[in-house]
Structure 1
Amino acid sequence: MTIVADKSILLVEDEAILALYEKNQLEQGGYQVTHVTNGENAINLILKEEYPFDLILMDIDLGKGLDGTETATQILNHREIPIVFLSSHTEREIVKKTESITSYGYVVKNSGFTVLDASIKMAFKLFEANELTKSKKEHLETVLHSIGDGVIATDKEGKITRINPVAEKLTGWTHEDGIGLEINRVFNIINVKTRQKVENPVEVVLKTNSIVALANHTVLIAKNGSEFQIADSGSPIKDLNGETKGVVLVFRDITEEYNVQSRIAKQANMLNNVLDAVIGTDFNHRINYWNKAAEKIFSWKEEEVIGKNILEVLKTEFLSHSIEEVIRKVNHEGSFIGEAIQYAKNGEIRNIEVNLVLLNDESDLPSGYIFVSRDISERLIALKQIKESEAKLTQIIESAMDAIISIDVSKQIILFNGAAEKMFGYDARDIIGKPLDRLIPEAFRKQHDKHIDQFKQTGVSRRAMGALGEISGLRSNGEEFPIEASISQITVNGESLFTVILRDVSVRTLSETKIQKLLIEKENILKEIHHRVKNNMSSLFTLLSLQANSQEDLSIQTILYEAAGRIKSMIVLYDKLYHSETDNSVSIQNYFPAICHEIVSIFPKNVSIQLEILEESIELNAKVLSSLGIILNELITNSMKHAFVDHANPAINLKITKEGTSIILEYSDNGKGIPESVSFQNTPGFGLQLIGMLTDQIGGKIMIDRKDYPKFLLELPV
C-alpha cells in the first residue's frame, strides 16, 4: 500500500510561478516536494544520492539546456525511479517519445490536482509491482538453482517447462534441450529388479491431483545410459484458484544409500558422523543402534531408547501407508522409501524422509531392520515457496495486457502468455517449443533473426517499447498486423534467454488516420478562431483608443494609451505569428519595426522613429517576443509621457546588435533624459517594475546607461 506521507517528490519545472503552485498543491496533498528549475540540477541531485526521492515529476519543456525527456533518460541510466511527465502538449509524437523512455505516466498541465494525484499514486503502484515481480522471480531462480535435489517442472500436459542443474546432471538433459519435451523422454525410469518401465509420477499426479511418491527400487536411466537409484516425489502445481497447472518432480540420487543398506549393520559405528538419522532394530523392532543424528532429530538420547520397541518410542505417520502396510512391504520387498510426519520427544513435528531396509543374516534369514531418516522440513518449505512464487509469477504474466513471449538461444518459444494467445491466435500448449519464426511474416524472418543475434552481442539487458521501430506479426490465420516491441535478455548457466513484450498497434494506426482528419478540421477551426480573436483584440484596442481621445484629463488619457499600447503589442505579435512560416517564432527584423510604429501611432504626438537593426535574421519564440513587446511598449509610453514636453522634433531610437551569443537592445530618445533618482532598484512607477520582472522571466539583463547620453540597454541570450 502506498503511503503518501512517506513519499518524496522531485519537481523539475522551469516556470517559477507554476512550480510554486504545483509544489503547494502537492504538499497540501501530503507529499514532500523538492523543486529544481532545470534538468542539469535534477541529474546532480540524483547522482549525489543525498535526497532519497521516490518519484520525479518532469516538465518536458525546460527552457535552455536539457529538455525533460533527455533529463529522464540520463537519470534512468543511473537509477531506477518512477518518472511522471508534465506538459502542456498533447501531441501524439510527444507522448510517444515519453513512452519510449518510461511508462509511469503523462499528465497534461492544468488537469487539476485530482488527476495529478491519481497519476502519481498509479505510478507508485506500478513501480512497486515491477519491483515485486523482479524480486520474486530472482528468488525463485535462486532457490531452484541452489536446492540440492533434482527438480523438473511440467505443464498440465506433462511437457517439461523447467529443469534445474541437479536434474540436468542426473538425467543428462540440459535445460534448453529438455524444454517442451514429454516427461517420459527425459525422466526415463524402470524397476531395478524387473527392468520394466515404471509409471511416471507426473502422469500419476495429473490423474490423481495429489502428491505421489516414487516406487521402491526405481532406477533413472540418463541420456548417456548411466543409471541412478533415485527416490522422492511428484506434487501438483496449483494456481491461486486451486486448479492444477502442472507438476513439480523432486528427486535425488540414493544409489549410494541403496548399496549401503545391505551393509549398514556391520558399519554402524561409522554412522555417527552422518546427517541422516540411522536406527537399527532386531526383527522384533527392539532398538539396538541409535546414532547422533537420530538424537538430534528425534530428541531422544541413545541411552533412553536402546532395548525399547521403536514403534513405542517413535510416533510416525507415513503419508501414503499405515505402519503395518510399511512393515509388510519391507518384509516382502526388502525395503521401503517414503515420507512421514514424525513427532519428536519434545512434541515438535518433523517432516522426514524414511528409508526402511530389511536385514538378513548369513543364512539369508531376516534378522532386523535399518531405519534411515532425514529431516526434510526446510526442503518442503522451500518447495512450497517455489510453488507459490511460480504461481504468483505466472499470475502476473498471465494478467499482463501486452503479449509476453520468451525464447531460448535457439529461438524456440518457452513462454507464451494469455495476451499472446489472443494476439496471435495460438494456444500456448501448441506453440511452446516451436520456433519464433511462426509468429513473423516470412519476408522479415531473416532480418528478425539478425536483429536478435546483434542484440545478444551488444550485451545490453533491455531495449524499451518502440526502440525496435514498428514491426510486423503473423497471426495463426495468416493475417499480418503491425506491432511495437521491447526486448530484454538474461543469462542463465551461460545461455541467453530473450523475452519480448509485444503490443498490437493496428487499432492505433487506424486511429492515427482519423486523427489526421481531425487535425485538418481543427486547423480550419483555429483559422476561424484566429479571425475572431484578432477582431476582438482590435475592437478592444479601438475602444481604448477612442476612450483615450475623449478624455480631457491627461493622466487618464495616458493610462488608457498605455493599456491600448500593451494590447497593440499583442495584436502585432499575434498577427506576425499567424503569418510566420516557422513554428511559434518570429524574426526580430519583422517584429520590432512593426511594433514600434504601431505603438507610437497610438499617441497624438508625431514622433520620429530611428531604427538600426542588424541584418542577420534572428528568430525568437513567442514567449520571449511577448515579453519584449510589453517591455518596448513601456519604454515608448514613458518617452511619450515624460520625455517630449515642449519638444519640437521628438525622436525615438532603437538599435539592435549582436555580441557573441547575446543580442543587445539599445533604446533612447532625444527628450529631457532620465532623472538620476530613477533606477530599477528605486522606481516610483509600475512601468519600470514590470520591465524588470519581464526581463528576469526571459533570462535577460537590463540597465540604465547614462554615459554619453541616457539609454536603456537590454542583453538577451539567444
Structure 2
Amino acid sequence: MNARVVSVRVKQILVVEDNEDDSRLFEIFLKEADPSGIRLKHSMTISDTLDLLREYGDEVDCIILDLSLPDSFGLDGFETIKKAFPKIPIVICSGTEDENMAMEALQAGGQDYLIKGRFDSHLLFRSVLYAIERQDMLSKLEEQAFLIKENEQRYRLLFEHNPHPILLYNFDSERILDLNQETERIYGYDREELLGIKFSELFVGQAGVEEDRRYAPVQNGKNIPETHVHRTKDGLPLLMEITSYRFQLQGKEVVLAILVDMTKWKQSEDSLLQSLRDKEALLQEIHHRVKNNLQIMASLLNLQANYAKNKEVTRELKDTESRIYSMSLVHNELYNSKSLAEIGLRSYVDKLLDNLWNVYGIGSEIKREIDVGQLSLAVEKALPIGMMINEIATNSIKYAYQEKKQGQFYIKAKFQNGVFLLVVGDDGKGIPDYPQIESKETLGLQLIRILSKQLKAKLDINTAAPGTRFQIEFSY
C-alpha cells in the first residue's frame, strides 16, 4: 500500500499537458497522495505556459511537463521553459520510453523523467516532492558558493546547519575533505574520524562488502539521485538517497554529496504494509465468522422446514433460508478472495443458483444461461444484487413453469460508460394479471423494489409472456 504524504506547506504545481485524461490522472494522483497540500494549475501549450509563468512564476514550485504538445515536441519545450525560468524544477512525464532523451533531459537540468503508465500516485508525488527539495537544495548550494567568495564564515554557517548530511570528497582519491554536523550525527563518527577516510568506506554491498563508490551519476558527471545502503560506526544499516555534484574546487576535482536518510521512511512504509496485512487478516476472520453465523441460521431454518407440517410454512422457511444464504455467500466469496473489497460476479451467481436449485429440487429441466463476463462487484453492491437475484430466481422456480415443466432462466450483466446493467428473467408463463396484483405485492417483490431504491437503480419489470423479465440499471 502506498502511504499518503502530507506536505508541510501548500505546493503549487503546474501541469503542462494537452491530453485531458492524462492531466486529470495527474490531478487524481497528486490529490490522492496529498489532498490538502497540493494546488494545481493547468496549461496545454508552451506558449500559454510561458504567459502563465510570467504572471505566476514566483508561486509555482514545480512543473510536470509532457514532451508532446501542440506547439512543441521533444526537448524543445523543456529547453524553452528551463531557459526562461531556470529556478523552477521540471519533472518530465512522457509517453515515450527513450533512454537517450531521458539522459539529455536530466543533463539539461530536468529533475526526473517518468514514463506514463509506469508510475502511481506515491511515485509521482515523491518525484515532485524530491524535485522541489533538490531544487531548493541546489539553490541553497548556489547561494553558498557565492557566499564562499564573499564570506567564509557565512558559508560555514549554512553548511554546518543544513538539515541533511553533506560530504565533500576528492573525486580521484575519494578522501573526505569536509562534512557537516548532521553527517556526524547520522553516522555516529566524530569529525576527525571521517576526515581522510574514503567515501566508499561508508557503503555496504549486498554481501556486506564495499560497493563500487564511483556509481554512475558521479562517474558520468550527472546529479541523478541514487539510493544506497550505508553503515553507521556501530554497523547499523542506513538507507541513504545520494545526490552528487562534481565540480572544480581550488584546482581539484571534488564531489559534493547531499544525503537524505530514508531509513525511517522505509521503516514506516514496512510498518504500514504490515499493518495493512494485519487488517486484511482481521477482515478475513470477520467475513469468516459472519459467514459461519449466517450459515448456522440457514441450517436451522432448513431443519425447521423439514419438520414443519404446514406446506405454506415450509415454503416460507425455505424462502428465508435462501435469502440468508445469499448474504452468507457474499462473505464466503470475500473470505476466499484475494480482494477484501470486491467479489467475482460469475462465481457468486453460480453458487447462489446452485443452492436454489438444490433447495427446491430442480434438475436439468430448467436450464441456466449466465452471461456476466469477468465483472466484479463491491460488497455494498453485491449484497443487494445477490438478494434480488435470489428473489427473482425463487419466483421463477415456484411459478414460471407450473404449466410447462421445462424452460430457461437467464442472468445477463454488463458495465458500460459508468452504468451497471443487470437483466434477470425466465421464459415461463409470465404474470398476466400483474397490474391487478401490483398493489398487494408479495414479500419477494417488495424486497426487490426496496433493494433497487437502496442501489438508486432504475427498475423495469416486464411480465408479459413468454416469461418475466427484470431489468436493474444504476450508476457505478
| TM-score, normalization by structure 1 | 0.36
Using a 3 Å threshold, how does the CA distance of structure 1 residues 710 and 577 change in structure 2: closer, same or farther?
A: same
Q: Which residue of 2 aligns with 1:123?
A: none
Deviation at 1:568, TM superposition (A): 1.2
Amino acid at match of 2:242: I
Cα distance in 2 between the residues matched to 1:492 and 1:674? 90
Residue 48 of structure 2: aligned partner: none
Over the matched positions of the two proteins, sequence identity in percent amounts to 18
Residues 528-556 of structure 1: per-residue CA shift (max 9 Å, x gap): 7666433311233345667899799989x
Q: Is the 8 A contact 1:600 1:636 kept in 2?
A: no
Indicate how the Cα distance of structure 1 residues 394 and 502 shifts in structure 2: closer, same or farther if over 3 A, else same. same
**What is the deviation of 1:436?**
1.2
User: Following TM superposition, by how much is the alpha carbon of 1:622 offset from its aligned partner in structure 2, in angstroms?
Assistant: 5.9
Instruction: Find out whether 1:447 has 2:212 as its counterpart.
Output: yes
Q: Which has the higher contact order (CA 8 A, sep 6+)?
A: 2
- Distance in 1, matches of 2:421 and 2:133, equals 57
Whole-Å separation in 2 of the counterparts to 1:703 and 1:617 = 22
1:658-669 equivalences in 2 (<5 Å): 666-669=423-426
Offset at 1:653?
Answer: 0.3
Alpha-carbon contact 2:366-2:409 (below 8 Å) kept: yes
Matches within 5 A, 1:52-67: 54-55=36-37
Matched, 1:635 2:411: no
Assess if the C-alpha contact under 8 Å between 1:586 and 1:620 holds in 2: yes
User: Residue 533 and residue 132 in structure 1: after superposition, are their counterparts in 2 closer, same or farther (change >3 A)?
Assistant: closer
Q: CA deviation at 1:596?
A: 1.4
Q: Which amino acid aligns with 2:259?
A: V
Separation of aligned partners in 2, 1:622 and 1:45? 21
Question: 1:500 is matched with which residue?
Answer: 259
Whether 1:151 aligns to 2:134 is no
Instruction: Say whether 1:43 aligns with 2:26.
Output: yes
Q: Is the 8 A contact 1:133 1:393 kept in 2?
A: no
SS at match of 1:537: helix
Assess if the C-alpha contact under 8 Å between 1:426 and 1:476 holds in 2: yes
Tell me which residue corresponds to 1:672: 430
One-letter identity of the residue aligned with 1:595: L
Shift of 1:142: 3.7
**For residues 493 and 677 of structure 1, what CA distance do their matches in structure 2 show?**
92
Residue of structure 2 equivalent to 1:297 = none
Deviation at 1:439, TM superposition (A): 0.8
Q: How much has 1:472 moved relative to structure 2? A: 3.2
Deviates more, 1:436-445 or 1:604-613: 604-613
Q: 2:200 aligns to what SS in structure 1?
A: helix
Unpaired runs of 5+ in structure 2? 1-8, 13-20, 40-61, 66-87, 90-119
1:653 paired with 2:409, answer yes
Q: Which residue of 2 aligns with 1:217?
A: none
State the alpha-carbon separation in 1 of the partners of residues 261 and 344 from structure 2.
46
Q: Distance in 1 between matches of 2:469 and 2:230?
A: 68
Q: Shift in Å at residue 602 of structure 1?
A: 5.8
Distance 1:576 1:554 in 2: 32
Instruction: Return 5+ residue gaps in structure 1 as ranges.
Output: 1-5, 10-37, 48-52, 58-74, 81-96, 105-126, 154-247, 249-385, 398-402
**CA shift in 2, pair 1:472/1:131, >3 Å:** closer
1:656·1:663 contact (CA, 8 Å) conserved in 2?
no
Q: Is the 8 A contact 1:405 1:417 kept in 2?
A: yes
Is the contact made by 1:569 and 1:599 (CA closer than 8 Å) also made in structure 2?
A: no
**Residue 487 of structure 1 contacts residue 500 of structure 1 at CA under 8 Å; is this kept in 2?**
yes
Question: 1:12-23 maps to which residues of 2 (within 5 A)?
Answer: none
2:469 paired residue among 711, 714, 717: 711
Report the 3-state secondary structure (helix = DSSP H, G, I; strand = E; otherwise coil) of the residue aligned with 2:430. coil
The alignment partner of 1:488 has SS state of: strand
The answer for the alignment partner of 1:597 in structure 2 is: 354
Report the Cα distance in structure 2 between the residues aligned to 1:418 and 1:100, rounded to whole angstroms.
Answer: 31
Q: Residues 422 and 709 of structure 1: is their aligned pair in 2 closer, same or farther, counting only changes over 3 Å? A: same
Q: 1:563 to 1:453 in 2, by over 3 A?
A: farther
Mapped partners of 2:202, 2:239: distance in 1: 14
Matches within 5 A, 1:162-311: 248=153
Separation in 1 of the partners of 2:298 and 2:10? 50
SS of the equivalent of 1:672 reads: coil
Greater gyration radius? 1
Distance 1:587 1:713 in 2: 20
Q: For the residues of structure 1 that align with 2:23 and 2:450, how far apart are their CA atoms?
A: 30
Query: Contact 1:667–1:712 at 8 Å: present in 2 too?
Result: yes
Distance (Å, rounded) in 2 between the aligned partners of 1:703 and 1:472: 63
The separation in 2 between residues aligned to 1:604 and 1:506, in whole angstroms, is 60
Structure 2 distance, partners of 1:571, 1:617, is: 23
After superposition, the Cα gap between the structure-2 partners of 1:567 and 1:528, relative to the gap in structure 1 and judged at 3 Å, is: same
For the Cα contact (< 8 Å) 1:407–1:414, is it kept in 2? Answer: yes
CA contact (8 A) 1:405 1:413 kept: no
* Preserved CA contact (<8 Å) 1:8 1:54: no
Aligned pairs (5 A) from 1:269-668: 386=154, 391=157, 394-395=160-161, 397=163, 404-407=165-168, 410=171, 413=176, 416-418=179-181, 420-432=183-195, 434-441=197-204, 445=210, 447-453=212-218, 456-457=221-222, 460=224, 462=225, 468=227, 471-476=228-233, 479=235, 481-489=236-244, 497-504=256-263, 532-542=289-299, 564-579=321-336, 582-583=338-339, 590-599=347-356, 609-613=366-370, 618=374, 620=376, 623=379, 625-626=382-383, 628-637=385-394, 639=396, 644=400, 649=405, 653-656=409-412, 666-668=423-425
CA–CA distance in structure 2, aligned partners of residues 562 and 407 of structure 1: 79
Partner Cα distance (1:538, 1:409) in 2: 73
Distance 1:7 1:502 in 2: 23
